[in-house]
Amino acid sequence: MHSDKDTIKDVDEGGKGSIAHKLAENMKEISITEFFEKNKQILGFDSRTKSLLMGVKEAVDNSLDACEEADILPDVYVKVEKVNDDDYNVTIEDNGPGIVRKKIPDVFGRLLYGSRFHALRQSRGQQGIGISATVMFGNINTGKPAHIKSKIDGTDAVAWKMDIVIDTKINRPIVTNEQPFTWEGKAHGTRVDYCTKGEYRKGKQSIYEYLKNTAIVNPHAKITFDDPEGKRHTFERATDTLPVKSKEIKPHPQGREVGDLQKMLQLTQQKTLKAFLKNDFSRITDRIAEEILQAAKVTDKKAAAVTREDCVAIVKAIDTVKIMAPQTDCLSPIGETLIKKGLMTVLEGLRPDYYAQPVTRSPRSANGNPFLVEAGIVYGGDIPADSEVSILRIANRVPLLYQPGACAITKAVESMDWRRYGLDQRGGSGKPFGPAIILVHVASTKIPFTSEGKEAIANNEDIHNEIVQALRLCARNLKSHLNKKDKKGKTHAKFEIVQQILPEMASKSAKMLNRPVPDLSRTISKIMNVVWVEPKSSYDGKNKIKKVTYNVYNYTRAERSFRLHAILPREAVNETLLSDRFLNMNDEGKANWEILSVPPFTSVSVSFDLVGSMADTFSESDVYLSGVNSAFVMGADPLPGDWGIKGMEITESDTDVPDEAEEEEEEAAADDDDGKRKGGKEDDE
């Protein structure tokens, strides 16, 4: 007599020899390495040109991450050497902390092995695929192993070298020729040598371009590149300031999916739902946890007893409760000053006219992952004016060179109306044209790339909106500069006419009539009627000293008191700022000078020095004036509303029509001048 179990077994085996059984016999598990071996294009190794670049990119990214985690200023060396028509030897060496001997095989010979995938903080590497995929690709297409050398920090540490090949069947490294050796040169670091099939090209999507853009957004790194033609390119370190180290944080509740919440509840160590919300997420207090539970109409039950329906209600409730923005210490923005410094150092050969003040936006959350956006614009100089603007796309300090059309950064740039900001945009949409370079950096604990190759950022709505906001702020700075430049040019022409031609006419007329040259200061002021701010500067590159002087001319008919304002790089501030007119400076570098009682037709000067590697990042044209109606000011912008101090009151004299007393004074002076001239003439006769 058969049991039910036996009956089921008989039924199942009764169809033996069917197509379904034959298909079942062929089913087997494949390793992740085998999958990527047959789908190399997913990792970006889909052409020989691209494959050569991707290998360098992954190794350099790892080097920069390792150095920064160990608080070491990166010194990275890259060499690409042509072996024959198809094969290239690639070398990447850094001065990082090195890798422990027993971990070297797994780091370079095992896909999806790393320390950053589960860490909720900003880093270049996220998946543990890049460098091991590079080794695998070289193994496959040349049959040669990768040669690894590494020495950890410590005077007694031994350096090790070994050859590594990846067994794609089991995703495990095969190590040969492992032995200790004497590391010469750097005190510690890692060196990777591998051979791969590729094709070296120049241009926008080249190794040189990638390293140049990497140097722009990593100004603390020195990068040396020996290309296949034997030329050495060195991108010098622009600053000794390391980026702020990102810290690991708990996930932010906003943007979480129902499945995420269920998985977290399965793994939580908390006993109750309220404790889970408070302790497993960031920015949730007892009060906010209570609000979420009340809005979801869910009681504070045991974490293990939470149902799917409860999770759906909680996810919806989170969107209705006001929760603080994500923590900022999990991100490491480049910063406005260093963005400008990086652009100035690497793009020096283009001699741009203007670096629009870069913008760093406040952190936001997308799908529960904190992110922020930074942007900068470079304009003029030798940048081609008749072609599309160049867009430098950066994700977690890593340049993105491929798939620009699929990237959220490109889409955000194309969605704006750049004609409003002084750039040409044919048809009113798409990439703008003009002598400009646009840089956008997206920093996040988890960049939503379109593929494992990390070539483009997915078009997330929250990220798109933040990019647009950052670009608008930069574009306004650019427009303000262009307007100021145009207005200043026209006023300069007017000044030349008034200050040169009128005095010459007066001098010649006086000479012809044999009379004294009249004082035209009141006449010139009446015609000009402005407070003119004229900046001057000089930079000593050898000693890294920038001297700045502001000459302020009062070409109005009234005595003036006002304040001068500028944002200075705090690292470069010198004690010479502490002059009689210097008022104060806050932690953000916003400096203020107070100038009192400047008579009409006179001028005053404010001078100071900036010292150090950040001195040249200060743009003397970015100056503000308060206390005078902006309609009467030339050469300076009105003080922004977010400056944080109260501007001086605008006086009644800041009007287009002088008051009666002033008119009477001018008429009396004019009569007096006429009387003197007549008297002088009579005496002569």
| Tokens of residue 485, six digits | 């430049």
Rounded to the nearest integer, the mean pLDDT of the chain is 82
pLDDT tens profile 596-606: 999 988 889 99
Which range (224-228, 427-431, 577-581, 607-611) has the least confidence? 577-581
Q: Output the pLDDT for position 658.
A: 42
Rounded mean pLDDT, 422-431: 85
- Asked if the structure places residue 498 within a domain, the reply is no
- Max avg pLDDT among 104-118, 161-175, 248-262, 525-539: 161-175
| Residue 571 included in any domain | yes
Q: Within this chain, do residues 113 and 218 fall inside the same structural domain, yes or no? A: yes
Check pLDDT > 60 for residue 676: no
One domain for residues 313 and 197:
no
Could you give the count of Cα atoms lying within 13 Å of 41 in the half-sphere of its Cβ?
3
Using the 3D structure, point to which of 457, 481, 505 is the last residue of a domain: 481
CA–CA separation, 227 vs 11, rounded Å? 68
Residue 456 lies in a domain: yes
pTM comes to 0.77
Q: How confident is the model at residue 679 (pLDDT cuts 50, 70, 90)?
A: very low
Least confident residue range of 217-221, 293-297, 660-664 = 660-664
396-414 mean pLDDT = 92
Write down the pLDDT at residue 389: 93
Tens digit of each residue's pLDDT (9 = 90 or more) over 488-504:
777 667 777 777 777 88
Decide if 679 is inside a domain: yes
Q: 534 has which bridge partners?
A: 551
Whole-number pLDDT of residue 217: 92
The yes-or-no verdict on residue 280 having pLDDT over 70 is yes
How many domains are there within the chain? 5
Q: Which residue has the higher pLDDT, 645 or 336?
A: 336
What tokens does 125 get?
A: 């590497």
Q: Is 248 domain-assigned? A: no
Confidence of residue 155 (pLDDT cuts 50, 70, 90): low
* 641 lies in the same domain as 662: no
Q: Which domain holds residue 123?
A: 33-235
Both 95 and 226 in a single domain? yes
How far, in Å, CA of 238 to CA of 218, rounded? 9
What is the model's pLDDT at position 42?
Answer: 64
Percent of residues, the chain, with pLDDT higher than 70: 84
Per residue in 352-401, pLDDT tens?
888 888 999 988 878 767 899 999 999 988 998 888 999 999 999 999 98
Q: Specify if 326 maps to a domain.
A: no
The whole-number pLDDT of residue 573 equals 87
Residue 240 belongs to some domain of the structure: no
Collapsed DSSP state (helix, strand, coil) of residue 94: coil
Do 644 and 683 fall within a single domain? Answer: no
Higher pLDDT, 660 or 112: 112
Give the pLDDT band of residue 29 (cuts 50, 70, 90). low
Q: Which residues contact 488 (CB under 8 A, 6 or more apart)?
A: 634, 635
Q: What pLDDT does 113 receive?
A: 62
Task: Give the pLDDT band (50/70/90) at residue 435.
Answer: very high
Distance CA 434, CA 423 (A): 6
Do 588 and 633 fall within a single domain?
A: yes
Name which of 355, 397, 396, 403 is nearest 378 in CA terms: 355
User: Helices H, strands E: what count in the chain?
Assistant: 17, 23
Residues 212-223: what's their mean pLDDT? 93
* Whether 369 and 221 share a structural domain: no
Q: What is the pLDDT, as a whole number, of residue 14?
A: 54
